[in-house]
Chains A and B, each alone.
Chain A
Amino acid sequence: MNNQRRSFLRKSMAGSLVAVSVATGLLTPSRVLAVWPKEAFDATKINDAMRSLLGAGQFEETNQVNLRTPDIAENGSVVPVTVKTKITGVESISVFALENARPLAISADMSAKARPVISTRIKLGKTSKVVAVVRANGKLYGATKTIKVTLGGCGG
């Protein structure tokens, strides 16, 4: 009797081990790892996001960067944003919304053939400063604008 009990225990243990390995296998889906800057997008402060993404937390405010947005956004879930610049040698253009839970909205890495213009639509949780940061020749340039939101776009 005692012998049987031992083998039963052993069997059930082996069974649970298999179950555990299956569970972990499911928890880590085989996904092709892309170079998506997770840390920058997960950052909750603009400075952390900038440092992680662009290497510095500060930028030079300049009128060379043209950030075009509405002054008042009626619907915060769709706010058109256009960033344009005359600076040459642009490496990337990023847009941050300061009041959002995750400030970094979008970041475009540009090759020499891409013109330094980008338009998109972003969500704003509430009235917020929006910052466009252009990285060119290893330096950061930016423009800031406050957008008034009458109806938030992030959250219930």
Chain B
Amino acid sequence: MAKKKLKVRASGKKGYAVIKAILFHPMATGLRKSKETGKIIPAHYIQEVTVKHEGAEVMKVNMGIAVSKNPYLSVEVDGAAKGDKIAIGWLDNLGETASTEVTVS
């Protein structure tokens, strides 16, 4: 099975929804050296995360190298009700992408 690249949960509250996501990513800064080889580990990190509610972009989160490995992100979307679709996707500095869609529960 392919490695899961993100895990998202959206829970509906009164008038809004809370979206919690874990993006599985090494988030290598490009500044540290490998302990074994002494070579610099090349930068590999998520740059953009988009949050969409029913197809409309709600938020765009830009990330830098200071975000932790396997970033956790929690945001809230106004007006999202149970049964609505929330889509989250990311793009990293090497052009890799991943996205998923969940239903607000």
Contact = CB atoms under 8 A, between A and B. Distances in A.
Contacts of A101: 31
A114 B51 contact: yes
Nearest to A115: B76
Interface in A107-130: 107-115, 117-124
A114 B81 CA distance: 14
Contacts of A82: 74
B74 A34 contact: no
Interface string B72-93: 1111111100000000000100
A115 B65 contact: no
B72 A119 contact: yes
B48 A111 contact: no
A109 B32 CA distance: 29
A123 B66 contact: yes
Interface string A47-76: 000000000000000000000000000000
B68 A79 contact: yes
Contacts of B105: none
B29 interface: yes
Contacts of B56: 111, 113
Contact of B91 (A34, A124, A153): A34
